[in-house]
Structure 1
Amino acid sequence: MDIANSRWLWLSTLPVVSVVLLQAAIFLRRAWNDGKEMGLSDDQLRSGFKTGFISAIGPAVAVLVGMLALIATVGGPVAWMRLSVIGSVAFELPAAELGVSQFGYGLGDEGITETAYATAVWSMTLGGTGWLLVSALGTPHMEKARQKLGNGKEKLIPIISSAAMLGAFAYFLTGEVTTGTPEAGSVAVGGLVMLVLLRIADERDLQWIREWALGVAMIVGLFVGVALQVTVGGGW
């Protein structure tokens, strides 16, 4: 852990995190400028940015909790770098475990050697390369594929996009609800809170509720899941 939290590792991971922050700044600037070109007003743009910021709170809390577990196993610098790039503790922990297991260790064991630790870091890094390659090589072609699916009918494109988003959420949620009571309760309560908040926002035309709805639903769902885990346990 002295090596895992050393000054040199902090310095070596700083450039990677800096690139992520630079990308975020560039995307925000481009989004704002493109929105202006599309005819959106400053109020609309500010509302969109506020909604995105609030909606990111829930996932950020989940990543932060996962980062605490990762820090305890691979140290602060590597956890900071990996979750800044990929953000998936569900991948990083098993990848690190796979690396150290090749030398007969488990995460959290005493006396893990430098070689075993380096292998864990390489497993995490190389294993996550696929996401980056697919994003880099595939993203420029996604718009053409979306247009082709719409078959020239502009009205179908937002329907296809919404269906794809719903399918992605459904895919992740079905994997969670079959895991146990805390996960199923978290999904159910979070979805119910979202529906109630959107219903209130529509009935009273309150834009600020729409902006906060997703973030609030995710945080409430997170706390419900933790409460169920503590009270009834992880099984059915």
Structure 2
Amino acid sequence: MIQHMGLLRNPLYMDVANSAYMWAAAGLVVLLVIAQAGLFMRRAYRSGKRMGMSEDQLKTGMRAGMISAVGPAVAILIGMMALVATVGGAIAWMRLSAIGSVMFELSAAELGTQQLGYSLGDEGLTEVAYANAVWVMTFGAVGWLVISGLFTPHMETVRQRIGSGREALLPVISAAAMLGAFGYLATGEVMSGSPFTASVAVGGLMMLALLQIADNRDIQWIREWALGTAMIVGLFAGVVTEVTLGGLW
């Protein structure tokens, strides 16, 4: 009986997403990330020694860094639940270990499936559509790695040329690009029905409110938890709308 209940049956592509082969492939990437982190920590420690920092200062700095990383890690873990439910645990683990942006990964995966006429989580989503989503997530982040790896020493010169010497113009350009990208993605959800509209509206308002509080009171942990909290509140708002009002359109 349970097999014939759509709400309780996983989409077929999830068998591939959670296969042992996928976990093994993802594990190789995560091991590389861990190795890089260890290399950076060792170099930072040696650089501190060359700068004349004491052993106590170095240990204090490393401890402070580890503690400050807990907040963002937990916030990413909360947002990771949405990614696990749509692309599987292995890919979610790999992508967030390498990039750490739930918003980007969800957006990229949705774009990848949309090109073949599907949406994330669809019961009929094929393995090809799922593979397309994973490739978009992967290639979509390659540009960041190439730019940061090859052109970081020259970025200050590029930054000054783009802004033509006007420092205030650079944040405007970045904000406009982000608003355009995520506005395009949110529009499709808003038009899907009243529960989706409620999720987008309430989640967006919650994000704005949390960031406003964090800025006004200079509370860093609120910034770190803002995304995960807004996602959960937005999802809850969508469920409440569906239960109480149903699909108004």
> If the length of structure 2 is used for normalisation, what is the TM-score?
0.66
SS of residue matched to 1:108: coil
Residues 154-179 of structure 1, C-alpha deviations (whole Å, 9 max, x = no match)? xxxxxxxxx99xx69x969x979xx8
Aligned residue in 2 for 1:58:
71
**In the alignment, structure 1 residue 5 sits paired with structure 2 residue 18:** yes
Select 2:98's aligned residue among 80, 85, 88.
85
**In the alignment, structure 1 residue 27 sits paired with structure 2 residue 15:** no
> If the length of structure 1 is used for normalisation, what is the TM-score?
0.69
Aligned residue in 1 for 2:187:
none
Say if 1:190 and 1:231 are closer, same or farther in 2 by CA, change over 3 A.
farther
Select 1:75's aligned residue among 47, 63, 88.
88
Is the CA contact (8 Å cut-off) linking 1:186 and 1:222 kept in structure 2? no
Aligned residue in 1 for 2:149:
136
Select 2:30's aligned residue among 14, 17, 21.
17
Matched residues in 2 for 1:4 and 1:223: separation? Answer: 23
Cα offset, 1:95, TM superposition = 1.1
Say if 1:22 and 1:74 are closer, same or farther in 2 by CA, change over 3 A.
same
Greater CA drift, 70-79 or 97-106 = 97-106
Aligned residue in 1 for 2:109:
96
Matched residues in 1 for 2:235 and 2:135: separation? Answer: 35
Unaligned regions of 5+ residues in structure 2, if any? 1-13, 161-166, 183-202, 239-249
Aligned residue runs from structure 1 range 190-201, under 5 A: 190-194=214-218
SS of residue matched to 1:2: helix
Cα offset, 1:94, TM superposition = 1.4
SS of residue matched to 1:71: helix
Aligned residue in 2 for 1:183:
207
Matched residues in 2 for 1:81 and 1:99: separation? Answer: 17
Cα offset, 1:34, TM superposition = 0.3
Cα offset, 1:100, TM superposition = 1.2
Is the CA contact (8 Å cut-off) linking 2:80 and 2:102 kept in structure 1? yes
Matched residues in 2 for 1:85 and 1:227: separation? Answer: 23
Say if 1:225 and 1:190 are closer, same or farther in 2 by CA, change over 3 A.
farther
Is the CA contact (8 Å cut-off) linking 1:181 and 1:228 kept in structure 2? no
Aligned residue in 2 for 1:114:
127
Residues 101-134 of structure 1, C-alpha deviations (whole Å, 9 max, x = no match)? 1221111110211111111111111111111101
Cα offset, 1:96, TM superposition = 0.8
Is the CA contact (8 Å cut-off) linking 1:5 and 1:77 kept in structure 2? yes
Is the CA contact (8 Å cut-off) linking 1:185 and 1:228 kept in structure 2? no
After superposition, the CA RMSD in angstroms is 3.6
Is the CA contact (8 Å cut-off) linking 1:185 and 1:225 kept in structure 2? no
Unaligned regions of 5+ residues in structure 1, if any? 150-162, 196-213
Is the CA contact (8 Å cut-off) linking 2:75 and 2:228 kept in structure 1? no
Between the two proteins, the alignment pairs up a number of residues equal to: 195
